[in-house]
């Protein structure tokens, strides 16, 4: 049976699900979703371009912001084709290898984003990182993310899929995909949950600890105005971290411990973690950061002068 399933795996399409209960409104829903994609991709691309163009921004804080922007664009581009195909054209079918590829890129960029967030909080705490260390950390985060996620599609490719498979989202996630095989998926399930808990769970805990330590240190030495600014910065950054980590960890845990929860709940939690951070991060980390705003303005001013 397993051999037969593996032999026919390429012939079995997967069918993605839109937003449960709102299928008739997909045309209208495409407007806010496409707007979020535009904001996420354009906003984060502007951050990357500004940091690359302005030598004054080649400092640890802004280089990490640029890395974070790369991961956000990667996540957005990974989900955009299938989401907009469903909302615009009701095109739900995706071939198996395409599904595995999308799953790999979504989870790899998400893992990279988590690593960058941890590196950013560590940099703010120690404030001693230089360019070679930042480059090494960037390569390390990338290699670690690829090494952790690569086994997931490889193991999923070996499982037998014996019937038409309908996934719960508008994109392919590992926690959703491993519900489909007609074989024991305990190894895949344990590996996926272990990655979530040891990587995202540990990263989120360390990020919060670093920001609490930063806040504690600043409040002990700063003036009243300095305390207010530090509190505003740390609270906004911690909120951005929670908006990313809580829904992301919740998606995996719900697929393991709350399989019978409403499909709308699963859709909402996964949508928050995939769509909200790429939109709000340019605002929290960059629009409120004067050097980034100045770099973006200078970049456009220089282009106008060339024209």
Distance (Å, whole) CA 177 – CA 168: 9
Distance (Å, whole) CA 121 – CA 210: 6
Of 32-41, 237-246, 297-306, the least confident: 297-306
For 166, the enclosing helix (H) or strand (E) is strand 165-166
Provide the pLDDT confidence category of residue 270 given band limits of 50, 70 and 90: confident
Q: Which residue has the higher pLDDT, 24 or 82?
A: 82
Q: Where are the domains of the chain?
A: 2-300
Of 22-36, 84-98, 213-227, the least confident: 213-227
Most confidently predicted of 52-61, 140-149, 285-294: 140-149
Q: Is the pLDDT of residue 9 over 80?
A: no
Q: Is the pLDDT of residue 170 over 80?
A: yes
Q: Is the pLDDT of residue 264 over 90?
A: no
Provide the pLDDT confidence category of residue 211 given band limits of 50, 70 and 90: confident
Most confidently predicted of 6-10, 27-31, 268-272: 27-31
The two beta strands, 93-94 and 165-166, are: unpaired
Q: Is the pLDDT of residue 112 over 60?
A: yes
Q: Which residue has the higher pLDDT, 290 or 191?
A: 191
Written as six digits, the tokens of 264 are 């709308």
Of 174, 200, 197, 169, give the one whose Cα is nearest residue 268.
Answer: 169
The residues facing 14 across adjacent strands are: 94, 165
Question: Could you please report the per-residue DSSP string of 11-25?
Answer: G--EE---STT-GGG
For 289, the enclosing helix (H) or strand (E) is none
Measured in Å, how far apart are the chain's first and last C-alpha atoms?
A: 66
Q: Is the pLDDT of residue 146 over 60?
A: yes
Mean pLDDT, residues 139-149 taken together: 97
Distance (Å, whole) CA 76 – CA 72: 6
Q: How does the average pLDDT of the chain come out, rounded?
A: 85
Q: Is the pLDDT of residue 187 over 80?
A: yes
Distance (Å, whole) CA 44 – CA 109: 14
Percent of the chain surpassing pLDDT 70: 88
Distance (Å, whole) CA 289 – CA 129: 20
Check residue 258 and give its pLDDT.
57
3-state DSSP assignment of residue 98: helix
Q: Are 18 and 86 in contact (CB under 8 A)?
A: yes
Q: Is the pLDDT of residue 4 over 90?
A: no
The residues facing 94 across adjacent strands are: 14
- pTM (2 decimals)? 0.90
Provide the pLDDT confidence category of residue 291 given band limits of 50, 70 and 90: confident
Check residue 124 and give its pLDDT.
86
Check residue 18 and give its pLDDT.
83
Q: Is the pLDDT of residue 108 over 60?
A: yes
CATH of 2-300, one of 1.25.40.20, 3.40.50.300, 3.30.70.100, 1.20.1070.10: 1.20.1070.10
Q: Is the pLDDT of residue 254 over 80?
A: no
Provide the pLDDT confidence category of residue 8 given band limits of 50, 70 and 90: very low
Check residue 292 and give its pLDDT.
86
Provide the pLDDT confidence category of residue 6 given band limits of 50, 70 and 90: very low
Could you tell me the CA-to-CA distances from 56 to 28, 59, 63, 130, 292 in Å, in that order?
A: 43, 7, 11, 14, 10
The number of residues in the chain equals 307
């Amino acid at each position: 049976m397993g051999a037969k399933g593996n032999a026919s795996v390429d012939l079995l399409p997967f069918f993605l699900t839109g937003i449960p209960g709102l299928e008739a409104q997909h045309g209208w829903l495409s407007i806010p979703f496409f707007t979020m994609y535009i904001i996420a991709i354009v906003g984060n691309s502007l951050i990357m371009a500004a940091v690359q163009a302005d030598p004054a921004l080649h400092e640890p804080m802004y280089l990490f912001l640029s890395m974070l922007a790369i991961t956000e664009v990667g996540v957005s581009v990974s989900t955009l084709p299938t989401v907009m195909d469903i909302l615009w054209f009701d095109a739900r079918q995706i071939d198996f290898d395409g599904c595995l590829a999308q799953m790999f890129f979504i989870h790899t960029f998400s893992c990279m984003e988590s690593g960058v967030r941890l590196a950013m909080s560590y940099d703010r705490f120690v404030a001693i990182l230089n360019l070679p260390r930042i480059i090494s950390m960037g390569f390390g985060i990338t290699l670690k993310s690829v090494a952790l996620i690569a086994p997931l599609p490889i193991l999923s490719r070996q499982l037998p899929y014996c019937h038409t498979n309908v996934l719960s989202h508008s994109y392919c996630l590992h926690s959703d995909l491993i519900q489909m095989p007609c074989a024991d998926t305990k190894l895949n399930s344990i590996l996926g949950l272990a990655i979530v808990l040891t990587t995202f769970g540990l990263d989120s805990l360390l990020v919060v600890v670093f920001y609490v330590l930063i806040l504690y240190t600043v409040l002990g030495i700063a003036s009243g105005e300095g305390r207010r600014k530090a509190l505003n910065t740390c609270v906004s950054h911690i909120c951005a971290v929670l908006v990313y980590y809580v829904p992301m960890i919740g998606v995996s845990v719900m697929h393991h411990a709350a399989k019978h929860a409403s499909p709308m709940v699963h859709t909402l939690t996964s949508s928050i973690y995939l769509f909200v951070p790429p939109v709000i991060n340019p605002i929290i980390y960059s629009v409120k950061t004067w050097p980034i705003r100045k770099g973006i303005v200078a970049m456009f001013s220089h282009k106008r002068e060339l024209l």
